[in-house]
Each structure stands twice: as structure tokens, then as C-alpha cells.
């Protein structure tokens, strides 16, 4: 199945009221990445949530391990990133992100200005 595209919201000096939505745990997501992208993930479910950011690269022919982050149960809240483009970007300059569940989870993709 095709991954779901998640838009990146721009943080500004005048402030951002970020919009959060449930992740697509069934298909995964693609998120544009310019090296300033971060993910803010909230988990209200009674089970920890695992977020996996795929790393497509290799070093000396060996695959670079994917980045996994556990968001704690019930009141879990994690900011993840930024993601260097040379390490994490897939073709099309996007991140491939997978979630262990969508139950009780909300996500916002944010870009921090230089």
C-alpha cells in the first residue's frame, strides 16, 4: 500500500498553533524533510508507542539501522529530530515513518526556521 503523506507545519517567530492528527499505522507515512523537520508525538494509549524512522543508507555495504523511539504510555510526549538529509531522506526528500499503533496517538510534523 502507498504511504500517507503528512504535511509539515512551519514554526514562526509569531507562534504556531500546531494541528495534530492520528498517524497512519497501517501504511506508514512520508514526511518532507529539509534537515529542519521534527516530529512531535503524543500518546494517550495505555501501551507504549514505537516510532520507526527508516534509514535508507549503507556504510561499507552494511545497512544503517533504522531509528526507533518509544513514546511512553498514557501521558507520553516526544519530540524527535531534526533529521540530517543525507542519512534519513528517501527518494523525493522525504522521511519514511512507521508507527506501532494509531490508538491514542497524535502527530504533528514541524519545521524549525534557521
Q: What is the pLDDT of residue 22?
A: 97
Could you list the residue range(s) of the whole structural domain that residue 46 is in?
A: 4-12+19-111
- Reference 77, options 39, 103, 35; nearest CA is 39
Model pTM score = 0.93
Contact indicator for 25, 99 with CB cutoff of 8 Å: yes
Mean pLDDT of 1-19: 95
Q: What is the pLDDT of residue 99?
A: 98
Q: What is the pLDDT of residues 32-87, one digit of tens each?
A: 999 999 999 999 999 999 999 999 988 898 988 999 999 999 999 999 999 999 88
Q: What is the pLDDT of residue 58?
A: 82
* Confidence tier at 113 by pLDDT (50, 70, 90): confident
| Domain tally, the chain | 1
Between CA 39 and CA 59 the distance in angstroms is: 26
Q: Is 29 exposed, middle or buried (0-12, 13-18, 19+ CB in 10 A)?
A: buried
Q: What is the pLDDT of residue 54?
A: 96
* Confidence tier at 114 by pLDDT (50, 70, 90): confident
Query: What whole-number percentage of the chain has pLDDT above 90?
Result: 88
Amino acid at each position: 500500500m502507498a504511504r500517507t503523506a503528512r504535511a509539515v507545519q512551519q514554526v514562526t517567530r509569531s507562534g504556531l498553533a500546531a494541528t495534530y492528527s492520528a498517524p497512519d499505522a497501517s501504511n506508514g507515512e512520508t514526511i518532507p524533510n529539509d534537515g529542519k523537520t521534527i516530529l512531535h508525538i503524543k500518546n494517550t494509549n495505555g501501551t507504549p508507542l514505537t516510532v520507526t524512522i527508516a534509514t535508507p543508507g549503507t556504510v561499507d555495504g552494511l545497512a544503517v539501522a533504522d531509528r526507533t523511539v518509544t513514546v511512553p504510555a498514557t501521558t507520553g510526549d516526544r519530540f524527535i529530530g531534526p533529521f540530517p538529509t543525507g542519512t534519513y531522506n528517501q527518494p523525493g526528500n522525504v522521511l519514511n515513518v512507521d508507527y506501532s499503533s494509531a490508538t491514542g496517538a497524535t502527530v504533528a510534523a514541524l519545521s524549525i526556521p534557521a
